[in-house]
A and B are shown apart, each in its own frame.
Chain A
């Protein structure tokens, strides 16, 4: 006796995910139900189309980039572990994380949240946000409502303000520096119930 969805998820897997991500047991089983309901092909992995079927995500201007964040380099399928690992970035930051590996940085640290946002810009993963990459994201967010020149000058100004080593692109450390006053923990966290 056991339910259809959670019987495919073994206790050992749940324990491992718990250690890696910090989600509770019931959160993991509920997220597994969600994963399962999104998985229309029932092959234990999600494709990009499975994500695009969510209307609220499809109308999000950055929808495609967010979906991209789930898929590791060059792959088209994400399994449950990968799904949870990406979602873990959005767990709220707690002060006392007990049953976690003290040497590894938790996935929901301020640094990792910033890295998630950085990777939304940095499509080619060269650890630099170039002018083109910045323009692409800007264009996604504003649609057709702003001209190329205006957008170009917004991008130039942003890079000018952030760039400290003069290479006309924004590295991760420059990114962190610009956003040091922003409350990243609150803006990039979702309150998961039980």
Chain B
């Protein structure tokens, strides 16, 4: 029987084979070859694409290069969403490698946040962790930690160090013995078809009678339109880290084992492929 801790490793080390191609209208001095990279599902585009940037800048003139941004089939990719979420939401049922287009001009101000330095990514990452702990523990655990512990979470992510990260993160996954779980579950549900970027609400992992709420309970409560009746065929897929967990899975377990490093469960609802 697989140990639950193995799930933590599988989530951390998930990778997506990606092919980066320079946008055809970018002005180059030589032809730009595509660049192939295995992207960590749990990280952020602007954190792991320094090599991509260097590769394309080599064939461009300095004055043609401004802030890098990424696009998939016409959709600007939000760097502040974890890579795995972007893939599940936009490309999970397409053939690998994931084909991403690289831009250096015409930054889409109305769609994307700016990311001028790694500090911006760190600030965003830490803000998510803090918000998650506000939901789980009324911020008590994160506020009790020292600055160096916060730094260790970020460094663990940045340097892909599972042990370093989880040495601190395990404290964010604990709860008082008298409770059976967190106060509220940090989650966001994404559907590519809506204007609203995601749904986030207060949701308790334990029912008043003491039973564990499931993934199915969460979906019924938060976006009932997404769940079709049990006897009918599910027209949609509920995806986390590239898999469809059973709807009977306790949401507390999912929160402890399948959250992203920012401590949120990022859940994609996508159309089920018809073939």
Answer yes or no: do A and B interact. no
